[in-house]
Amino acid sequence: MNQKNHISTKDKALLKKLRKEEKILEVQHLKISNRLDSKRTSLWRYISMFLKLLTPFRVAIGVACLILTLLIVYSMFITNLDRLLNSECGFNCGYLLEQPPSYSNPLDYILLRLSSHHEKYFDIQMFLDTALFATMLIYTFICILYGIVKIGINFFSLEIYRLRRRDTLPQALSVVSILVILMMFAFSMQLMSIAPMYVTFGD
């Protein structure tokens, strides 16, 4: 028993060296963790400061987002209603319209009016339709992410994954990425219903 428990001088020196290296690694790990935490804290502090600056404008931003949402929903509804009522070939051709739309589509009209300045180079109005279109896509992307974070990833009433700050499983992030890609793809497929004249013919 004494021979088994006996540690040679060489092994003791090696063990002492390994413990010293372990302490050094622990100190380095602690320093790196503190740096990362400080960076995250500063980032969230800047975000909170930015949100506080937007506090007086939150009502205006909310009204603008509500108007944009209603425009998108109304444009999709009125275009699909027009196809359903005025398509000559009906179901056989996918309710295509051979004539210009019969009902007014406000979002399509706005994009067409803004795109009529494309012949004026080096003019700020040249990019207004692109800016509105990009705003609409970014707003849709933010709404998708917000809905997924608030509701979580569920299968009917069964909760599969919950998204929390610094406490989200890698599998949940993979599923969220796939869901966002599919939802944005579905939204891009609906652009022909949101702004048919603009998407098809541009200006």
State the residue range of the domain holding 23.
1-53
The verdict on 22 and 119 lying in the same domain is: no
The two tokens of residue 104 are: 């007014």
Helices (H), the chain: 2-5, 9-53, 58-86, 106-114, 128-151, 170-189, 191-194, 196-201
- Give the model confidence (pLDDT) of 111-140 as tens digits: 888 877 665 555 555 677 888 888 988 999
The verdict on 15 and 59 lying in the same domain is: no
- Give the model confidence (pLDDT) of 81-92 as tens digits: 888 888 777 777
Instruction: Report the domain count for the chain.
Output: 2
Residue 200 in this model has a pLDDT that exceeds 70: yes
The verdict on 70 and 152 lying in the same domain is: yes
Strand partners, 161: 153
Residue with the bigger pLDDT between 127 and 74: it is: 74
The verdict on 71 and 46 lying in the same domain is: no
- Give the model confidence (pLDDT) of 3-50 as tens digits: 455 677 877 888 888 888 888 888 888 888 777 666 666 667 777 788
CB 150 within 8 A of CB 163: no
91: left (phi over 0), alpha (psi -120 to 50) or beta: alpha
pLDDT for 66 equals 92
- Reported confidence tier of residue 55, pLDDT bands at 50, 70, 90: confident
The verdict on 84 and 11 lying in the same domain is: no
Residue 115: which of 100, 98, 128, 104 has the closest Cα? 128
The verdict on 36 and 64 lying in the same domain is: no
pLDDT for 2 equals 47
Handedness of CA 24, 27, 33, 35 (dihedral sign): negative
